[in-house]
Amino acid sequence: MKLSDFSQTEKDEFFQFFYDKFYQKNFGSLSKSDVELYVFHFFIKKLRAQHSDGYAVNEINLSDFKLACQLGITPQKIRGLKLKERLVYPNSEYDWRKQFLQISDEAKYDPDKKRVIMNVSDNWLFANIQDFLEDKGEPIEIQLNGKILQIPVPYYVDLMVEVYSGDNKDFKTDVVRKLKSLSPEMKKMDKKKIGLSIKNAAIDITTLGVNLVTMIPQLSILVNSAT
C-alpha cells in the first residue's frame, strides 16, 4: 500500500482523529495500544475495501503473515488486532451470514468423522460462527491453527438454515416442514434447535442431503459422499 492510495478525504480523516485526541488540551491521554489500534483500523479498512468482493475478502492478500511482514510485527499480534478492531470499530453493514455464504462452497465432508470441515481464515467470521453454534449447544472443534472448523452435520445444516433465512423469513419454516416429513421423531422438533432435533432423530446423512439439497445447494457434499 502506498500513500497515494489514500484519498485526500481519508488523509483528512486520519489527521482529524489525532488532532481531536492530542490537540484539545488532552495531549498524551490516549494510550499506546489505542493509538496502535486506530492506526491498524485505518490501515485494514482501506485494505478490505481494495480486496473485497461484496462481503468476502481476498484473505490471500490480507493473510496474517503478509500483514505481519508489511508492518513488522508477529502474525499472532495481527490476529489479535484484527479481532479487537472488529470489536472497537464495528461495521454496521457487516453480516457474518453473507460472508459465510460466500465461502461455504469450500466446505468438505469427512464421512469417517461425519463432520463438515472448512478453512475459515477470518477470525471475526470464525468467532461469529462459534458463537452461533455454542448458542445451539454444540461447541465446534478448533484445530491448532485456529482456522479450521469441524462441524457435526446436524449443526452444519442448522448453520446453513440460519444463513439462508437472513433474506427469506419463510425459509426456516419450509425447511422445518421438509424435515418433519423425514422421520416421526422430527414431528416434535424444536424450530429453534434444528441441529439438535436432527441429531436426536438420527436421520441418515445421505437422506438429509438428498431431501434438502434443492433448498441448500451446499449440502450436495453429503449426497456426493455416498456415490
Q: How far is C-alpha 207 from the chain's CA centre?
A: 27
Give the count of alpha carbons within 13 A of 129, CB side only: 33
Is 139's pLDDT higher than 90?
no
Q: Pairing state of beta strands 108-110 and 141-142?
A: unpaired
Sequence ranges of the domains in the chain: 3-94, 98-224
- pLDDT, one tens digit per residue, over 8-64 is 999 999 999 999 999 999 998 999 999 999 999 999 999 888 876 655 555 555 788
- pLDDT, one tens digit per residue, over 165-187 is 877 878 998 998 999 998 888 88
SS3 content of the chain, % helix, strand, coil (to 5): 60, 10, 30
Segments of 121-212 assigned E as strands: 141-142, 148-152
List the Cα angle 14/80/149 in 5-degree steps.
125
pLDDT at 95: 87
- Mean pLDDT of all residues belonging to the chain: 86
**Which amino acid makes up residue 121?**
S
Segments of 7-102 assigned E as strands: 52-53, 56-57
pLDDT at 62: 76
Of 72-86, 91-105, 143-157, 170-184, where does mean pLDDT reach its minimum? 143-157
Cell numbers linked to 74: 508477529
pTM score, whole prediction = 0.80
The SS3 of residue 191 is coil
At residue 23, φ and ψ (nearest 5 deg) are: -110, 20
pLDDT at 171: 92
Q: Which helix (H) or strand (E) holds 46?
A: helix 32-51
